Amino acid sequence: MLPVNWMSPKPHDLLVQQNVKRLVKGLNRVMRQLNMIRPLVINGLNPVFGLPMLHQLNECATIYYCFDEITIINWMSRHGSRYEPDYLRGVDAVVTTSETLRRSKASLQPNAYCVKNGVNFDLFNQAYQLAQQQPPPEKPVIGYLGTADNRVNLDLVEYCVRTMSDVTFQFVGEVHEPSLTKRLSTYSNVVFTPPHQPVDLPPLLAQMKAAMIPFVCNEHTYTIYPLKINEYLAAGLPVVSTPFSILDDFDGVIELAASPEEFAQALRKALSDDSPERVNERIAMAMNNAWARRAEEFEAVIQKVPAAWISETVL
């Protein structure tokens, strides 16, 4: 693939056609090897390739899997926002990972469905099992799992770190916002842990007493259904989040707090929210949101797209 994302629209669009021809040629070769005649195409957040690929693979149907707001993504917004409207009109259905995304895309594609992010329950539930077998750290740990970027409300986090010096705040994952490390590294109770493979995360979660999702509230975060929320819950951890999106599914299971003061108070409460009943409630919620359940929901969407069942073979 030629690297063309940086280009202005006219040369970009010409060279994207060449990229797509190369991709279609390769896919057709693989499809012949696998004896695929009428594939079902599921495109994951790439309308730039998806639009010129429509009807190029003798596909029975195309589903656009939209898991983020493309107009706000740095690497895709420049051209993706130009291509997405026509692509939405051209596909047979769109599946989003949040209800807010579904509502926004439904204006251009009436066959719009929401299948939210899930969790590898068996993997992350290992953290709860490990926590029962080992002594807790001397200082309670409040964790944040995943990429830390401009979605994190730095002022809110810094307030909590400053006013809760008896607690360790651990960030596990990549840090894409330099100001996070610059400001928070000055506090002795903040730990930045490099990213780990998912299989290596349960021992880290097992050391945590609570978990947080301190996102800013804006048009981008409003479209998010956070992957990490069910990972926390599968580990049995109490969760405190800002009300950055529609999180009605978790009413009564997680705590929502908007201001720095409220967030710190909610974290204090979470540190003692460890009764067996509450832990079981959190784990049951995560189990109900496992990827196996999400797969069933996605399959139900496919069954609603009649053209997808023209062929017995899907891609």
Cα separation, 161 vs 176, whole angstroms = 19
Asked if residue 34 has pLDDT above 70, the reply is yes
Same domain? For 190 and 303 the reply is no
Q: Is residue 219 part of a domain?
A: yes
Same domain? For 112 and 157 the reply is no
Q: Is residue 307 within 8 Å of 40, Cβ to Cβ? A: no
Q: Is residue 160 within 8 Å of 267, Cβ to Cβ? A: yes
Same domain? For 139 and 108 the reply is no
* % of residues, the chain, pLDDT over 70: 97
Number of structural domains (the chain) is 2
Same domain? For 69 and 213 the reply is no
Q: Is residue 3 part of a domain?
A: no
Q: Which residues constitute the domain of residue 43? A: 9-117+293-309
Condensed to tens digits (0 to 9), the pLDDT of residues 171-208 reads 999 999 999 999 999 999 999 999 999 999 999 999 99
For the chain, the C-alpha Rg in angstroms (whole number) is 22
Q: Is residue 4 part of a domain?
A: no
Same domain? For 82 and 170 the reply is no
Q: Is residue 184 within 8 Å of 190, Cβ to Cβ? A: yes
Same domain? For 185 and 263 the reply is yes
**Which CATH number fits the domain that encloses residue 209?**
3.40.50.2000
Same domain? For 155 and 102 the reply is no
Same domain? For 49 and 101 the reply is yes
Q: Is residue 68 part of a domain?
A: yes
The per-residue pLDDT for 313 is 47
Same domain? For 19 and 161 the reply is no
Asked if residue 14 has pLDDT above 50, the reply is yes
Condensed to tens digits (0 to 9), the pLDDT of residues 123-174 reads 999 999 999 998 989 999 999 999 999 999 999 999 999 999 999 999 999 9
* Structure tokens belonging to residue 167: 């607690």
Asked if residue 112 has pLDDT above 80, the reply is yes
> Would you tell me how many other CB atoms lie within 10 Å of the CB of residue 99?
16
Asked if residue 117 has pLDDT above 70, the reply is yes
Cα separation, 9 vs 16, whole angstroms = 10
The per-residue pLDDT for 268 is 98
The per-residue pLDDT for 312 is 47
Same domain? For 268 and 228 the reply is yes
Same domain? For 136 and 262 the reply is yes
Average pLDDT of the chain to the nearest whole number: 94
The per-residue pLDDT for 314 is 47
* % of residues, the chain, pLDDT over 90: 91
Same domain? For 136 and 269 the reply is yes
The per-residue pLDDT for 136 is 86
Average pLDDT of span 9-25: 97
Q: Is residue 248 part of a domain?
A: yes
Average pLDDT of span 46-58: 97
Average pLDDT of span 33-51: 96
- Residue 309 — pLDDT band, cuts 50, 70, 90? low
- Residue 315 — pLDDT band, cuts 50, 70, 90? very low
Q: Is residue 155 part of a domain?
A: yes
Average pLDDT of span 51-80: 91
Asked if residue 275 has pLDDT above 60, the reply is yes
Q: Is residue 246 part of a domain?
A: yes
Q: Is residue 89 part of a domain?
A: yes
Asked if residue 75 has pLDDT above 80, the reply is no
Backbone angles phi, psi at 240, to 5 degrees: -115, 130
